[in-house]
């Protein structure tokens, strides 16, 4: 579908509206940047890429620093820009981890600033709508959306929070031999662009929960996946969904008592964002943040065995940036 790039002024207007309804004042771009954190050059690069395509785009970007919004925009800019993933008129779904009614400081749910920045960029790339959704495990969605801070951040960014209706799940044929047919939220398969935005955290069943496991929030029957074996069924679910972009939030990571956490003693501040088209490689890299290797998380190996991505990172073009 044809892309229709926004002008510089139009994109600034979207970002300003997303930052809290701030309007332009005459000759106020510098003042606006000071108020909202907008960096015009970086924001345009986050849409179109930073101009380094001729040299070959990185396979993965790993960005460390603050503020969070700059961290995310840099990761996307260096990966080729949001227009590499979102075209004008696209229906975009952003899938964070909102498993419980927890504030983001507890690192059980994806950081609201990470989610909101991706929503703004998708809007800036011309998406006709950007919806954010998850299927919480321990509370009703409305409570989790609000407590996590994601609802407020997404709505300010121009996106919408979507509560996943029981009537929208449909049984699909699943490749791989274990699940065979399994219910998936149909919007996740019917959208134009699926952006997977997990938080990196410890998990009792899989060692860690990262991008692969985050997409379990797209099904209404997690129990069946547990019964059939999580490693293989997570791989099969991802083989069906095939997210277009994965951005791992490691601003804060949860090192114990996952997935729902609840104690600040279990949280470590990393200020890192990882972005790639290959979620398997992104997950493999993220295990390092916990002092682990990819083999510690069996679903990563199972997914690589299905050809969904790479776990050997040694030959990949992985670029690290400080902001």
Q: Residue 106, SS3?
A: helix
Domain membership of residue 173 as a residue range = 8-322
Q: Domain for residue 3, yes or no? A: no
Q: What's residue 54's pLDDT?
A: 56
User: What pLDDT sits at residue 53?
Assistant: 66
Q: Give residue-wise pLDDT tens across range 28-66.
A: 333 333 333 456 777 899 999 987 665 689 999 999 999
Low-confidence ranges of the chain (pLDDT < 70): 1-39, 52-55
Q: What's the pLDDT at 167? A: 97
Tell me whether residue 160 is in a domain.
yes
Count of structural domains within the chain = 1
Which residue reads 């890429």 in tokens? 49
pLDDT value of position 267: 98
Other CB atoms within a 10 A radius of the CB of residue 148 amount to 28
Asked if residue 1 is part of any domain, the answer here is: no
Sign of CA dihedral 194, 104, 213, 77: positive
SS3 for 242? coil
In a domain, 75, yes or no: yes
Burial class (CB in 10 A: 0-12, 13-18, 19+), 65: middle
How many Å apart are CA 65 and CA 5, to the nearest integer?
A: 28
Could you tell me whether strands 199-203 and 193-197 are parallel, antiparallel, or unpaired per DSSP bridges? Answer: unpaired
| pLDDT of res. 55 | 66
| Structural domain contains residue 54 | yes
Q: What is the CATH number of the domain that holds 245?
A: 3.40.50.11440
**Residue 89: partners with Cβ closer than 8 Å, 6 or more residues away:** 1, 126, 127, 128, 192
pLDDT in tens, 221-255: 999 999 999 999 999 999 999 999 999 999 999 99
Whether 90 is covered by a domain: the verdict is yes
Kindly state the greatest CA–CA separation across the chain: 62
* DSSP reduced 3-state for 90: coil
User: Which DSSP string do the residues of 120-179 spell out, in sequence order?
Assistant: HHHHHTT-SEEEE----SSS-HHHHHHHTTHHHHHHHTT-EE----GGGEEEEE-TTSSS
2 is a domain residue:
no
């Amino acid at each position: 579908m044809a892309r229709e790039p926004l002008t510089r002024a139009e994109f600034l207007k979207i970002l300003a509206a997303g930052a809290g309804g701030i309007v332009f004042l005459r000759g106020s771009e510098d003042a606006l940047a000071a108020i909202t954190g907008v960096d015009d050059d970086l924001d345009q690069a986050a849409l179109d890429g930073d101009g380094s395509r001729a040299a070959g785009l990185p396979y993965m970007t790993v960005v460390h620093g603050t503020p969070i919004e700059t961290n995310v925009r840099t990761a996307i800019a260096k990966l080729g820009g949001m227009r590499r993933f979102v075209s004008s008129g696209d229906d975009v779904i952003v899938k964070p981890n909102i498993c419980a009614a927890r504030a983001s400081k507890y690192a059980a749910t994806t950081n609201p600033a990470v989610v909101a920045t991706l929503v703004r960029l998708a809007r800036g790339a011309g998406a006709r709508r950007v919806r954010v959704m998850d299927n919480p495990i321990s509370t009703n969605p409305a409570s989790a959306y609000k407590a996590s801070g994601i609802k407020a951040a997404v709505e300010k960014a121009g996106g919408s929070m979507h509560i996943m209706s029981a009537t929208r799940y449909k049984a699909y044929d699943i490749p791989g031999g274990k699940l065979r047919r399994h219910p998936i939220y149909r919007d996740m398969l019917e959208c134009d662009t699926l952006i997977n935005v997990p938080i990196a955290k410890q998990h009792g069943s899989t060692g860690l929960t990262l991008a692969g496991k985050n997409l379990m929030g797209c099904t209404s029957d997690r129990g069946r996946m547990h019964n059939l074996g999580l490693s293989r069924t997570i791989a099969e679910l991802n083989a069906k969904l095939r997210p277009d972009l994965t951005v791992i939030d490691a601003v804060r990571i949860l090192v114990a008592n996952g997935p729902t956490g609840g104690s600040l003693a279990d949280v470590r501040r990393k200020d890192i964002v990882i972005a790639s088209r290959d979620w398997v490689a992104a997950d493999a890299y993220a295990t390092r943040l916990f002092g682990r290797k990819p083999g510690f998380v069996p679903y990563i190996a199972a997914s690589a065995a299905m050809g969904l991505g790479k776990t050997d990172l040694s030959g990949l073009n992985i670029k690290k940036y400080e902001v």
